[in-house]
Chains A and B, each alone.
Chain A
């Protein structure tokens, strides 16, 4: 058999150029919006003296969780400060929160749409599979082409990688609302919107929150890769340590990411637990 190779690579490159030339203003707008969000958040986080912010986070942990969580937050953040990684960690936090925020903004309505219409679900599911399994480096390149180097392509690729759980679990949560409750809501004459707001979203909330938790965790796992295309933060230290064979520095930066991950995870878990009990 000697069939000619499908020129898939050529097609994709043609598509990339075509998008770049025809959608430039659109990409510019996104770059502006996302860039400003991350920068604004980063500036705000770094505006506080580190110790004040550490106390603030500890208080939040205290209110949402128990004293153990507050203690962990306090010690963990003090270690980061002590290692001299505070401002980089805040840059990373700004990137993670921005991509998580945008993921929720797009993911939850998307999930609702999937839950409502099986046809949308059928189209979206394979796309999500594709997004989650395609190696991240592959879409880093076009991200750089469209949004140039810096934090914005980092956020965009984080979103691509991290948004699927929010969409999937929002859809699942709504579909799992017991049939008889939906029927009751219908029997009393709810509009579809009333049904969504008063019944489906509140009942699906723990599941949706579990999706958001996953999204935050996944976008944290993207910070090192994002640093390769110029996103600032602790990821840069890890990347540099890898290229320079510096195990000690790599471990320090890695530890900062782990601490941040644990705090974010426990906080969101706690919120899930609370939304379940009410």
Chain B
């Protein structure tokens, strides 16, 4: 049975297409030349079945399990209509929220401030859940409702099914000590304690004995790469290092969930990017569930598995980074995402297309025939395990036939390649250097797809509704 996978069919409005768009029966090939790009480009995606995409199957499955269909996973945190109203007699505002009054209207009428308005979401284990919004949107309040640093007005927070809001003071302390760690925007390190004493703090209040907690704290310190700094005081460290200590402190008691409140916002951009990378690396090692607050969309897109976008205390949209970018729920989200530099968000795997391949055992004649059949001018030579060996052009094949060479000797081995996670931004140089499209190869050397200029341009040209162009460049 051929695996059932989506192929992209693109309907382009507002593009004058000089060359006809061509689809063969298998839906695997399309060629067009863009002559004139008007302001509005609408790209619609229609799912189609094709047997040709089977090599992409595994990868897309992975992609889907990472980003979209997560139904089978257990939610570790679930928030139901979580609401926080600030002011005297906050319950007064609840019926008004039910009536759909806006934050401004409620404030004007009752002098009550809506911090968080009926936020509902669920976070699955091992996920990085980003809550994003501008300052004043209620994101920092929302994260504090989860561990009751701020007491919710109404609603529910379920941690592995237990209602956090019904916990006694003692139970809440245990929950905070064992299950949730927290990292703060301004680091919030204790200035009178050394680095190691800071990291130990959460263990110390649990009453873990000195020797054991020090060993645990050292482990955490090593994790963030600050070994050797344990006896320094926080003010002797740079901002980036201080936040590593904050991170180590949050991780020291090995919590199930790590809450990070604008943890990287106070750092300068380069250090921030390093910290993001390190967080992703840590997360891939430790599989922590992370709730990450940020006002920076690029940061959210970079590290988030799911993003909740907040405005005026309400969650406007929840989705994967791709969903937020491609299908903004409303004008607000659209405006939010319009300035995103897509080249730093989209990766090769988002824009790559299926290459035409031929196995190495075949002869040059077969190769030439393949190219004729499929209307392409080059083929990717692979072994039976889909490992990329080289590229053969029509010219190479013709020469090989003339000189009686094998495909192996006729193909060109110098083709640019990159991993599926490479940002488009980092692909540009590779693409400009070679006459061939960039091959996308996984860790095992298997050919996953190719990236052609047309697809990249298509991906970068729109930002509200786009998908990788499925054209095939045949030079």
Contact = CB atoms under 8 A, between A and B. Distances in A.
B190 interface: yes
Contact of A186 (B149, B186, B189): B149
A21 to B, nearest CB: 46
A194 B175 CA distance: 17
B184 to A, nearest CB: 6
A29 to B, nearest CB: 38
Contacts of B188: 178, 180-181, 183-184
Contacts, number: 58
Nearest to B174: A189
A199 B205 CA distance: 12
A117 interface: no
Interface string A181-207: 101111111110010001100110000
Contacts of B137: none
Contacts of B57: none
B100 interface: no
Given A180-B188, A184-B188, A278-B192, A189 B204 contact: no
B147 interface: yes
B142 to A, nearest CB: 15
Q: Pick from A178, A183, A199, A202 the residue with the most CB of B within 10 Å.
A: A183
Contact of B205 (A178, A180, A189, A203): A189
B191 A203 contact: yes
A190 B192 contact: no
Contacts of A181: 188, 190
B256 to A, nearest CB: 14
Interface string B184-227: 11101111100000000110111000000000000000000000
B88 to A, nearest CB: 15
A278 B231 CA distance: 12
B177 interface: yes
B151 to A, nearest CB: 12
Chain A interface size, as a band, is 10 to 19
Contact of B201 (A178, A180, A188, A202): A188
Given A188-B177, A278-B192, A180 B184 contact: yes
A181 B186 CA distance: 10
Contacts of A189: 172-177, 202, 205-206
A200 to B, nearest CB: 11
B147 A191 contact: no
Q: Pick from B147, B191, B192, B259 the residue with the most CB of A within 10 Å.
A: B192
A183 B205 CA distance: 14
A198 B192 CA distance: 9
Contacts of B185: 180
Contacts of B206: 189
A188 B192 contact: no
Interface in A161-219: 178, 180-181, 183-191, 194, 198-199, 202-203
Contacts of A180: 184-186, 188
Interface residues of B, number: 27
B452 interface: no
A184 B184 contact: yes
Contacts of B191: 203
A278 B192 CA distance: 6
Nearest to B180: A187
A186 B144 CA distance: 11
B149 A188 contact: no
Given A180-B184, A187-B176, A188-B182, A194 B205 contact: yes
Contacts of A191: 173, 205
B150 to A, nearest CB: 10
Nearest to A181: B188
Contacts of A203: 190-192
A257 B175 CA distance: 57
B184 A188 contact: no
Contacts of B173: 189-191
Interface in B28-76: none
Contacts of B204: 198
A187 B182 contact: yes
A117 B235 CA distance: 31
B41 to A, nearest CB: 46
Nearest to A183: B149
Nearest to B203: A188
A190 B149 contact: no
Interface in B136-175: 147, 149, 172-175
Interface string A33-68: 000000000000000000000000000000000000
Contacts of B192: 202-203, 278
Contacts of B177: 188-189
Nearest to A205: B192
Interface string B372-402: 0000000000000000000000000000000
A203 B180 CA distance: 25
A184 B182 contact: yes
Contacts of A178: 188
A28 B372 CA distance: 116
A163 B174 CA distance: 39
Interface in A61-98: none
Contacts of A194: 205
The 3 A-B pairs of least Cβ separation, nearest first, read A189-B177, A189-B176, A188-B202
Interface of B: 147, 149, 172-177, 180-182, 184-186, 188-192, 201-202, 204-206, 249, 253, 259
Given A180-B186, A187-B147, 15 more contacts: A180-B185, A180-B188, A181-B190, A183-B184, A184-B188, A185-B201, A187-B180, A188-B177, A188-B181, A188-B182, A189-B172, A189-B173, A189-B174, A189-B177, A198-B190
25 contacts: A178-B188, A180-B184, A180-B186, A183-B184, A184-B184, A185-B190, A187-B147, A187-B149, A187-B180, A187-B182, A187-B259, A188-B177, A188-B202, A188-B205, A189-B173, A189-B175, A189-B176, A189-B177, A189-B202, A189-B205, A191-B173, A191-B205, A199-B190, A203-B190, A278-B192
